[in-house]
């Protein structure tokens, strides 16, 4: 049900754009106004969310330790899984963000003894396809920078070259275009088919997947099927970027407006959704802090010095006679 609602919602968005920018011809609205608003919402929302999080302190340093601590010099420690320095923690974070290291922990191959068959559980696939999706998404994002930068920097051209290294098709196929579809499809199917994940899934888990699929498919359709006019599009984007928005002379395809509208929706939706895990992962105290609180002091801003232990004096008052009788030393003789 949740999946269905989400699908319908994305479908509705597609229609809104198709009708609005297609038949109704509201180019300025869909090509200029909405993207601006979306970007504004994105930036404001993003900053708001970060500030909202950052306003709360991290009272305790609660790293989840995933390896041997640093203690005695002759015991080998795990510098990344149980970092005690800032460097180690940074490496841990990088590995976490770039390779999804924690997710990879799942990925142990089950060796079945009975018939010596290697069985990969679904968790292994989760790591692989999540990584595929994110990497592809990231690469595509960078590739899109060519629309916003003039001249196109060499590094972006390099990435484009690498991404199309297989040199198949006209225009040449970007591997990431396929990969992002593969990744998204897997993540979506997993949510629907895997009963356990299905049980915990909410509408807001399906919605971004459908939205991203919509974006990817419309993008792919533009590039490979109707071969959209990139020069004109770049005219529009550069105009937007220089705050002199103007629609290009040549009319743009409806598909482009659908694509742009979906991206705008993604931008506007982003800060209020779980997609904020992008920023949240960096603020997660079980990962971004070193395990060094036995070495050095860590300050809790709201630590209340007024909270005192039940004092020794009160304790002794309570039990003095019995202590003396038992031969235990006391501070005050009775």
Partner 1 sequence: MAKLPPPEELVKINYSTPVKGWMDVPADFRPGTFSYPGKPDILKYLGFPNPREWSPTDADWKLPPDWREIIMKGFRERLDKYRSFKVFMDICVRCGACADKCHFYIGSGDPKNMPVLRAELLRSIYRGEFTVAGKILSRLAGARKLEEDVVKEWFMYFYQCTECRRCSLFCPYGIDTAEITMMARELLTLVGCNINWILEPAANCNRTGNHLGIQPHAYKDMMDFLCEDIETITGIHIEPPVNKKGAEILFITPSGDIFADPGIYTYMGYIMLFHELGLDYTWSTYASEGGNFGLFTSDTMMKKLNGKMYAEAKRLGVKWILGGECGHMWRVINQYMDTMNGPADFLETPVSPITGTRFDAAAGTKMLHIAEFTADLIKNGKLKLDPSRNANLRTTFHDSCNPARGMGLFEEPRYVLKNVCENFVDMPEETIREQTFCCGGGAGLNNEEFMEMRMRGGLPRGSAVKYVQEKNQVNTLVTICAIDRATLPPLCDYWAPGVQVAGLHELVANALVMEGEQERTMNMRQEPLPGFEDAEEEE
Partner 2 sequence: MPTLSDLIEKNKEPLLSRWLDLILATYAKETALLWKQQRNQFTNPVGNRIREGIQGILTCLLADENGSYQEQAAVFLDDIVRVRAVQDFKPSEAVSFIYLLKKVLREDLWAEIKASDLFVELLALESRIDSLALLSLDIYANCREKLYAMRIKEVKNVQKRLLERANIICGYSDVQAGGEDRSPE
Chain contacts with partner 2 (rule: CB under 8 A): 108, 110, 112, 119, 121-122, 194-196, 198-199
Stretch that binds ligand HEM, among 37-45, 107-115, 227-235, 276-284 (CB under 6 A): 276-284
Question: How many whole angstroms separate alpha carbon 39 and alpha carbon 264?
Answer: 7
Question: How many whole angstroms separate alpha carbon 180 and alpha carbon 177?
Answer: 6
Question: How many whole angstroms separate alpha carbon 88 and alpha carbon 193?
Answer: 39
Q: Select the residue interacting with ligand HEM from 209, 213, 263, 268 (CB under 6 A).
A: 209
Binding to ligand HEM by residue 124, rule CB under 6 A? no
CB of 87 to partner 1, least distance (A): 17
Q: What angle do CA 115, 119, 125 make, to 5 degrees?
A: 175
Binding at 78: pick from ligand HEM, partner 2, partner 1, none (beta carbon under 5-8 Å per type): partner 1
Binding to ligand HEM by residue 134, rule CB under 6 A? yes
Binding to partner 1 by residue 55, rule CB under 8 A? yes
8 Å CB contact between 149 and 137: no
Nearest to 101 by CA among 78, 70, 74, 73: 78
Nearer to partner 1 among residue 225 and residue 302 (C-beta)? 302
CB of 103 to ligand HEM, least distance (A): 5
Residue with tokens 């992008």: 278
CB atoms within 10 A of CB 57: 10
DSSP state of 253: P
Taking the CA atoms of the chain, what radius of gyration do you get in angstroms?
28
CB of 11 to partner 1, least distance (A): 16
Binding to ligand HEM by residue 97, rule CB under 6 A? yes
Binding to partner 1 by residue 177, rule CB under 8 A? no
8 Å CB contact between 287 and 64: yes
CB of 200 to partner 2, least distance (A): 8
Q: Which residues are registered as beta bridge partners of 112?
A: 117
Q: Select the residue interacting with partner 1 from 3, 7, 35, 70 (CB under 8 A).
A: 70
Q: Select the residue interacting with partner 1 from 18, 29, 37, 130 (CB under 8 A).
A: 130
Binding at 209: pick from partner 1, partner 2, ligand HEM, none (beta carbon under 5-8 Å per type): ligand HEM
Binding at 119: pick from partner 1, ligand HEM, partner 2, none (beta carbon under 5-8 Å per type): partner 2
8 Å CB contact between 209 and 188: yes
Binding to partner 1 by residue 326, rule CB under 8 A? yes
Three-class SS state of 111: strand
Binding to partner 1 by residue 173, rule CB under 8 A? no
């Amino acid at each position: 049900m949740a999946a269905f609602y989400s699908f319908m919602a994305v479908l509705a968005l597609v229609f809104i754009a198709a009708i609005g920018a297609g038949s109704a011809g509201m180019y300025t609205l869909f090509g200029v106004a909405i993207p601006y608003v979306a970007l504004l919402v994105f930036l404001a929302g993003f900053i708001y969310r970060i500030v909202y999080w950052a306003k709360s302190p991290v009272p305790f340093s609660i790293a989840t330790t995933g390896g041997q601590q640093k203690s005695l010099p002759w015991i080998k420690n795990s510098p990344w899984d149980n970092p005690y320095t800032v460097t180690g923690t940074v490496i841990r974070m990088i590995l976490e963000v770039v390779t999804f290291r924690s997710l990879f922990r799942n990925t142990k191959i089950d060796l079945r003894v009975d018939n010596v068959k290697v069985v990969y559980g679904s968790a292994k696939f989760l790591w692989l396809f999540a990584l595929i999706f994110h990497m592809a998404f990231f690469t595509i994002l960078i590739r899109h920078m060519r629309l916003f930068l003039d001249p196109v920097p060499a590094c972006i051209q390099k990435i484009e070259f690498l991404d199309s290294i297989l040199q198949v098709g006209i225009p040449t196929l970007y591997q990431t275009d396929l990969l992002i579809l593969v990744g998204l499809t897997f993540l979506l199917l997993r949510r629907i088919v895997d009963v356990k994940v299905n049980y915990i899934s909410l509408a807001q888990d399906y919605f971004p997947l459908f939205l991203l699929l919509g974006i990817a498919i419309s993008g792919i359709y533009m590039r490979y099927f109707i071969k959209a006019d990139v020069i004109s599009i770049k005219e529009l984007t550069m105009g937007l970027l220089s705050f002199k928005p103007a629609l290009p002379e040549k009319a743009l395809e409806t598909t482009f407006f659908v694509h742009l509208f979906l991206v705008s929706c993604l931008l506007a939706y982003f800060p209020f959704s779980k997609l904020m895990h992008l920023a949240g992962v960096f603020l997660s105290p079980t990962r971004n802090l070193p395990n060094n609180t036995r070495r050095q002091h860590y300050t809790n801003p709201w630590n209340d010095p007024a909270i005192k232990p039940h004092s020794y004096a009160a304790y002794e008052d309570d039990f003095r006679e019995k202590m003396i009788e038992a031969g235990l030393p006391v501070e005050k003789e009775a």
